[in-house]
Amino acid sequence: MAKKNKNWLRLRWVLVLFLTFLASLSLLLFYLVQGKNIALLHPRGYIAHQQYSLMLFVVAILLIIGIPALVTLYIVAWRYRESNPKTVMSEHKASKSLVATIWIVPTFFMIVISVVMWPATHKLAPQKSIASENKPLTIQVISLRWKWLFLYPEQGIATVNFIQLPINTPVEFEMTADEVPMSSFWIPNLGGQLYTMTSHVNRLNLMANTIGDYPGSTPEINGAGFTGMKFTARVSSDADFNQWVKKTSQSQNILDQNSYKELLKPSEANPVVLYSDFDGTLYDSVIMKYAGSAEGHSGH
């Protein structure tokens, strides 16, 4: 018995050591990420913000059930340890009410989460346009191997691996792909991602509410150059945006059939390119190129 107790004492020391380790790890992590851009916890857009609040809500609910459950588990394990003199053997089976409790408690919490989830999923559906006083902006997105091509149909300009957005303005991204495997369009600071696919138009609605430069990427693997398939989303004031459009429309580059063919060739870590004009039929022709796939796939 004495030795058993000694064993326990050692285990207790290990536990203390482990908790110290966890505490120092947390401190270290806190120090390392301090002042860094933790995109999901620092939302800079309307959608990202709501996704963030929803996430906090879900985590809170889960912790309300998770923490007491874990604490109970370890307390029970400790209280009924063999070396505790108070512990006696029993063939105790769970009572009916205990069995009912272990079913009802998780069911209740999952109902709470579901009740919130269902409407939130509809409200935050990426296809849904965002209501705002400002006139929405449309940007057509074509993912290529391995770069992003953006078309501003209303402004008549096009860009590669860079977009500028006016603040507090709903933006609808109409996304498709050309000669690239499924990719995903993601600007973590502004909101969640959506896949881009050939023959298919996916619509993603976002609205930025803080000025700044935010990184965008494809988190879905699409081949050798996928790591370098990054772009910057610059959120600016309306005036700055208009000025940028003006400046871009004076660029020497024009996106015609030839320069598009160039873009279709696989390339990695492409530099930013700005085009003052593009072929108006380009976007539709990219979709029509894969029309054989199926009717009813394109558009929603």
Among 82, 85, 271, 299, binds other proteins (CB under 8 A): 82
Q: Which of 9, 16, 27, 62 contacts other proteins by CB under 8 A?
A: 62
Token pair recorded at residue 207: 């609205």
Is the CB of 97 or the CB of 252 nearer to other proteins? 97
Q: Does 265 bind other proteins (CB under 8 A)?
A: no
Q: State whether residue 171 is helix, strand or coil.
A: strand
> Which tokens is 280 given?
């108006």
Distance in Å, CB of 235 to other proteins, minimum? 16
Residue among 50, 42, 36 at smallest CA distance from 207: 50
Q: Which is nearer to other proteins, 254 or 269 (CB)?
A: 269
**Of the candidates 191, 188, 183, 192, the residue with the CA atom closest to the CA atom of residue 141:** 183
Contact 49, 192 (CB under 8 A): no
Among 136, 153, 156, 228, binds other proteins (CB under 8 A): 228
Distance between first and last Cα of the chain: 72
Residue 203 in contact with residue 169, Cβ under 8 Å?
A: no
Selected from 1, 122, 135, 299, the binder of other proteins by CB under 8 A is: 122
Residue 107 touches other proteins, criterion: CB under 8 A: yes
> Exactly one of 98, 252, 265, 299 binds other proteins (CB under 8 A); which one?
98
232 belongs to the binding site for other proteins (CB under 8 A): no
Site string for other proteins, 154-183 (x = CB under 8 A): ---------------------------xx-
Interface with other proteins, residue 13, by CB under 8 A: no
CB of residue 45 vs other proteins: minimum separation in angstroms?
11
Binding-site size for other proteins (CB under 8 A) equals 108
| Rounded alpha-carbon distances, angstroms, from residue 242 to 46, 215, 249 | 22, 21, 11
C-alpha distances in Å from residue 176, one per residue of 53, 58, 113, 199, 230: 30, 32, 33, 7, 16
Does residue 226 touch other proteins according to CB under 8 A? yes
